[in-house]
Chains A and B, each alone.
Chain A
Amino acid sequence: MRTYIEFALKKFQNKMAYRLEFFMGIVNTVITIVVYLCIYKALYGGATEIDGITFQMVATNFVISLGLSDAFKYNEMFLQDKIHDGTITNEFLKPVNFVFRMLSENIGEGLFKIIFNFIPALLFTLLYASLCPPKSILNLFIMLVSMMLGYLILWLISFIVQTWSFWLFSVWGIITIKNVFVNILSGSLLPMWFMPATLRKIISFTPFESIYFTPVRIYLGELCGADILSGMAVQLIWICILALVAGAFWKNGVKKLVVQGG
């Protein structure tokens, strides 16, 4: 465990070395928030609420999802690059689990992005727009836990697609398409509340609902009591399913490498 924490810390430290990237990250996040809030405002056209959903709720949904997706922005071509240049085999020479190592490093990078990009940008945004407060402090904490689960779901989906580089020459296109799907279907751009009922029904059978929407609803207090537990249980179930799928792809990919030699 110590080793993996160290991986995360190293990555975190490492990110600090790039100062320009760091300032650009803040600017980028602020601009994104401002632009989207303007768009939402225009869509509301002065109305205080649409279908019982206030502008504030939409803004809050967007900002929370953005925080999580910021944390999630790491190099998704990592595995492909390692497979292409052959350094993936180096990893099997070490007595550590490479998948956990990847996860730790991505988390380290994500923490960096949250602390140094998202939080400053958020504070800055609060000067410009008001967001909904959390239902309660407890809700805030539970949301943080639920966000971590959401992160794991995002990470596993990404990892599964990344493992396809064992068989495909380039997964760049697939990753791009995947990200479009995640952005649309998880309700970070167009909030889940406004999705057509049938689409929302379909999405509820996919892991996408569990990524951003569950934490947002916990934060806003839309889910309470037993609903919180069942929402998080669904998140956990998706994590298990995705982890099994990811494990299967990974095992077979590695097998291809060690048996056939790449």
Chain B
Amino acid sequence: MQMIEVNGIKKYYKVAKRDKGITSSVKHLFHRNYQVKKAVDDISFSIKKGEIVGFIGPNGAGKSTTIKMLSGILYPDEGKLQINGYIPYKQRKQYVKNIGVVFGQKSQLHWDLPLIESFELMKYIYKIPQNLYEENLEKFTKLLDMENFINQPVRQLSLGQRMRGDIVAALLHSPEIVFFDEPTIGLDVVAKEKIREFIKYMNETEQTTIIFTTHDMQDIEKVCDRLIIIDEGKKIYDGTIDGIKNKYANSKTIEILLENGEKEVKTFDINKTPMNEVMEGLFSKYHIKDISICEPEIDEIIRDIYEGRVALKTTDGKVGEI
């Protein structure tokens, strides 16, 4: 049984179009022209219980819109959605009891309450049994290193501290599914690492199904088993990280150390020149002491994909899957 089943969901926003100038402003008052923005355009995927899936795509690709539909706060215009046996937007009240959602950009904490009191409220909101609450709270605050600011009002917390607070608040009720929308946005390396470890830990120990969006490929490499890339509202990749490296890295960098101690760095497009030829060429030209072939950085591949240098669509128009 799949935990999350998404079938052809679409979300088109109607955006009021407006020209510059005073006359058109006046016209705008009485008559509006709408432009349709295809934020999510026919996306399907399914996710098993206990999977961690990373969701990436350039700005405006439709990631947050998708997360909003998955968490039940936005109705899809079309398509089917079934999560944990519920249809999120129809059975919201029941459904949300068993999910946790973190929007990195929007805090759910009470601005002027100490962090710990926002947590207390979660206990009542989700009717968390006292022992589970205490157990989770102790575990989470330790894992995320929060002991020394848990009594501070949220408005006094730094971004990284607040984010950790938000994550704990969303997980105290031990939800089966968690959606994170950019949980590492604006955090320093150490804080990011803490959050990654925490997410991984939750997944491993509790079998929590997790989807998260990010712009940091390190997040994906360190945490996810599976990667979904969307662009302009369409899914363009769904598979493992290694898969994307093997299949879509169009260039390899070769470092050679020469007999005389000099170093040469060469980059080849392996689609144009097969490795055989590359090597033959190198061997005939140089006296080689050592050779190393560097894997392309995932960041670079992703950049290539976003900028359209690598087409992920196969010729028959199907989405590339591995």
Contacts and interface: CB of A to CB of B under 8 A. Distances in A.
| A, B co-complexed | yes
Interface of A: 2-3, 6-7, 10, 13-14, 17, 85-87, 89-90, 92-96, 257-261
Given A3-B124, A93-B71, A95-B96, A261 B13 contact: yes
7 contacts: A6-B121, A14-B113, A87-B106, A92-B92, A93-B108, A261-B39, A261-B68
Contact of A92 (B65, B73, B107, B113): B73
Nearest to A18: B112
B75 interface: yes
Contacts of A3: 124-125, 127
A218 to B, nearest CB: 35
Which A-B residue pairs are the 10 nearest by beta carbons? Answer: A6-B124, A3-B124, A90-B108, A89-B73, A95-B97, A92-B73, A93-B101, A259-B75, A258-B75, A95-B96
B14 interface: yes
B93 A93 contact: no
A87 B105 CA distance: 10
Interface of A is mostly: helix
Given A89-B68, A94-B126, 5 more contacts: A6-B124, A89-B73, A92-B72, A95-B97, A261-B68
Interface in B246-301: none
Contacts, number: 65
A90 B13 CA distance: 20
B89 interface: yes
B11 interface: yes
A260 B14 contact: yes
A205 B322 CA distance: 71
A10 B117 contact: yes
Contacts of A94: 96, 125-126
A87 B11 CA distance: 20
B125 A258 contact: no
Contact of B103 (A2, A14, A90, A96): A90
A14 B154 CA distance: 13
A92 B11 CA distance: 19
Given A258-B75, A261-B68, A14 B112 contact: yes
Contacts of A90: 103, 106, 108
Contacts of A93: 71-73, 96, 99, 101, 108
Interface residues of B, number: 33
A17 B68 CA distance: 35
B36 to A, nearest CB: 12
A85 B107 CA distance: 10
A10 B14 CA distance: 40
A258 B89 contact: yes
A17 B94 CA distance: 35
B132 interface: no
Nearest to A95: B97
Contacts of B71: 93
A93 B107 CA distance: 13
Q: Which of B72, B73, B94, B107 has the most CB of A within 10 A?
A: B73
A258 B126 contact: no
B108 A17 contact: no
Contacts of A96: 125
B106 A85 contact: yes
Contacts of A89: 68, 73, 106
Contacts of B106: 85-87, 89-90
Contacts of B68: 89, 261
Nearest to B114: A17
Contact of A87 (B93, B107, B120, B125): B107
Contact of B121 (A10, A87, A92): A10
A87 B124 contact: no
B152 to A, nearest CB: 12
Contact of B124 (A2, A14, A257, A260): A2
A2 B124 CA distance: 7
Contacts of A87: 106-108
Nearest to B170: A93
Q: Which of B13, B74, B101, B127 has the most CB of A within 10 A?
A: B74
Nearest to B105: A86
Interface string B124-141: 111100000000000000
B121 A7 contact: yes
Q: Which of A6, A14, A93 has the most CB of B within 10 A?
A: A93
Nearest to B94: A95
